[in-house]
Structure 1
Amino acid sequence: MSTRELVVLGTASQVPTRLRNQNGYLLRWDGEGILFDPGEGTQRQMLRAGVAATDITRICVTHFHGDHSLGLPGVIQRLSLDKVRHPVHAHFPASGAHYFERLRHATSFYEQADLRELPIAADGPIATGKFTLEARRLSHPVEAFGYRLTEPDGRTMLPGKLAEHGIAGPDIARLQREGHLNGVALTDVSTPRPGQRFAFVMDTRLCDGVYALAENADTLVIESTFLAEDTHLARDFGHLTAQQAARVAAESGVRQLVLTHFSQRYPEPERFLAEAEAEFDGEIVVAADLERVQVPKRRSSPADRGAP
């Protein structure tokens, strides 16, 4: 059975707290493990959360501020220490390639892992296969990109219809591949199955990229560094408020909103929830360190897109 869940490794912003480590998020998506923004302390948080280095197949860095990237040296060295056999692809803004190089080789170690650097210079797809991973430029004092994972639409086979037409065993796979079998069309024995969508938005002001990433996402993980009372600070420092993040979710047809990247100035997480609930009536998660968030089940039909 496939696993699609977000393992939250850290939820603080620039300054960690007693309860919140700096950023770190592992998305388990079937056989992939995508590590987003490993901040300082990520390697230890992985241990606490039951995440192994061998789980990581991709590393996605939104930008090169310390709370989003200072965990890279430990994670990269752990890939070699644990002798990870599969390639690990690393995506990050091309303008910060010199930072990635310094972090990758911050200290001496015996590099054995196959870490493949794939810098991002523009909006668009950065990986394709069972899903498409794309990047979109955000608005922050340094160059930053958000990420979006899109699963292709498919079809759900209907056992009753298959039996009615006498299709079973290997013939089912053949029908799925070819679209027709012995006068039976794939559409006769199946229904549309919308693909799932996951979006990851970190440090940014409101901009077109935020909305492009969030559009019809099943899960939107988004920074909410500030509360609405400090909107001017959010704008000045290139961040969002919980209110703004929730409005984006409401306007974009998001189903599950995951708020994170909280400023240490707010010790009460319930304030973020209250602010978001006033704008968005879908599922809201105020992320906590070491929490596991399940990606919602697929929508029942393509027509459901646009409604939480």
Structure 2
Amino acid sequence: MSVRELVVLGTASQVPTRHRNHNGYLLRWDGEGILFDPGEGTQRQMLRAGVAAHDLNRICVTHFHGDHSLGLAGVIQRINLDKVPHPVTAHYPKSGQRFFDRLRYSTAYRETVGITEAPVSADGPLATGSSYELETRKLSHPVESYGYRVVEPDGRRMLPDRLAAHGIKGPDVGRIQREGSVSGVLLEDVSEVRRGQRFAFVMDTRLCDGVHALAEGCDMLVIESTFLDEDIDLAVDHGHLTAGQAATVARDAGVRHLVLTHFSQRYSDHGGTSRSSEAESGGEFERQARAAGFEGELTVAHDLLRVPVPKRR
């Protein structure tokens, strides 16, 4: 049975708190695992979440700020230490190649796994997995940043009443699926389009065309909401989104399940400029997202949370 779920490893932004680790998100998609933005401490968070290096097939880095990439060194070394038997591919902005090289070879270790480097330099398709296509779009941040989108190709759903009406049964059902027609009956006559699932991962960015393109029609959108709406000026200045902006994007894109994450430490119980407890601020992120008109399923993420990708309609 296929498993499609998001495993949240960390939800902090620039500064971790007592309850929020730096970023880290694993998407389990059937038999593959895509690790997004492994920030500092990701290797330990994987252990706590029951995620092994063997679960990783791809690593996708949106940009080279520390809270999104400092964990690369440990994750890559763990992949080699555990001698992962399958290929692992790393995607990241090509402009940050020097940062990737430094992190990959930050200390001495024995390389046992050939990690394939596949840097990103433009919008469009990146790769094909066992049951998905990986796409990317450029975002708007002080350093070059890209979001990622996982798209399952559309399929066909067989319709029993139409099969019966056309006398298609037994082995001919499989045959018409393979060949497209049987005895003059077309596949389109006895089936309908089964839309593939879509997942998008959007981190540090202002509102831009790339955000909307990534979110369009997604079953699940994981998106940064670093600030609350009253701090929108800070969001714009630093290249981030507010809860209301993220929810508006999801609303307009027809997103089914919105996952808010990447929260500023100013809303935590970390100390200093704290204005509320994490539980209270989490409620405020939800309130502002609902006030923006998003009516779908909504999750304000916390570390070690598991979120199933919505079932097909």
Normalising by the smaller structure, the TM-score range is over 0.9
Mind listing any 5+ residue stretches in structure 1 that lack a counterpart? 300-308
2:136 is matched by which residue type in structure 1?
A: A
SS in 2 for 1:191: strand
Contact 1:10 1:288 in 2 (8 A): yes
What's the offset of the Cα at 1:160?
A: 5.2
Amino acid at match of 1:270: G
SS of the aligned residue for 2:206 comes to: coil
Partner of residue 282 from structure 2, selected from 266, 269, 275: 269
CA–CA separation in structure 1 for the residues paired with 2:310 and 2:13: 26
Q: Does 1:119 align with 2:119?
A: yes
Q: CA deviation at 1:248?
A: 0.6
- Tell me the alpha carbon deviations over residues 44-74 of structure 1, each in whole angstroms, 9 at most, x when there is no partner: 1111111111110000000000000010011
Match of 1:152 in 2: 153
Whole-angstrom distance in 1 between the partners of 2:2 and 2:230: 42
Equivalent residue letter for 1:269: G
Q: Give the CA deviation at 1:166.
A: 4.6
Q: Is residue 207 from structure 1 mapped to residue 208 from structure 2 by the alignment?
A: yes
Does 1:73 pair with 2:87? no
State the secondary structure of the residue aligned to 2:6: strand
Q: Counterpart of 2:255?
A: 254
Task: Kindly provide the CA deviation profile for residues 122-161 of structure 1, in whole angstroms up to 9, marking residues without a partner as x.
Answer: 1111113532211111000000000011111111123455
How many Å separate the matches in 1 of 2:256 and 2:176?
Answer: 32
CA deviation string 1:80-139 (max 9, x = no partner): 111111111100000001100110011101111121000111111111353221111100
273, 288, 293: which one aligns with 2:307 = 293
RMSD: 1.3
Shift of 1:31: 1.6
Identity %: 69
AA partner of residue 188 (structure 1): D
Where structure 2 has 5 or more consecutive residues not aligned to the other structure, the ranges are: 269-280
Please report how far the alpha carbon of residue 172 of structure 1 lies from its aligned counterpart in structure 2 after TM superposition.
3.4
Letter in 1 for 2:285: F
Query: TM-score, length-normalised on structure 2?
Result: 0.92
| Offset of residue 202 of structure 1 | 0.1
Normalization by structure 1: what TM-score?
0.93
Residue 303 of structure 1 corresponds to which residue in structure 2? none
Residues in 1 aligned to 2:175 and 2:94: alpha-carbon distance in whole angstroms: 43
What residue identity is the alignment partner of 2:37?
A: D
Q: SS of the residue aligned with 1:63?
A: coil
SS in 2 for 1:246: helix
SS of the residue 1:120 aligns to: coil
1:135-174 correspondence runs (5 A) = 135-159=136-160, 161-162=162-163, 165-169=167-171, 171-174=172-175
* Rounded Cα–Cα distance in structure 2 between residues aligned with 1:174 and 1:60: 39
Code of the aligned partner of 2:216: E
Give, in whole Å, the separation in 1 of the partners of 2:4 and 2:182: 33
Tell me the amino acid that sits aligned with residue 288 of structure 2: E
Counterpart CA distance in 1 for 2:160 and 2:178 is 17
Q: Match for 2:297 among 234, 258, 283? A: 283
1:238-295 deviation line (CA, Å, top 9, x unaligned): 1000010001111111111100000111132111011101111111100011111111
How many angstroms apart in 1 are the aligned matches of 2:228 and 2:163? 53
Residue 43 of structure 1 deviates from its aligned partner by 0.7
**Structure 1 residue 222: Cα displacement:** 0.2
AA in 2 matched with 1:283: E
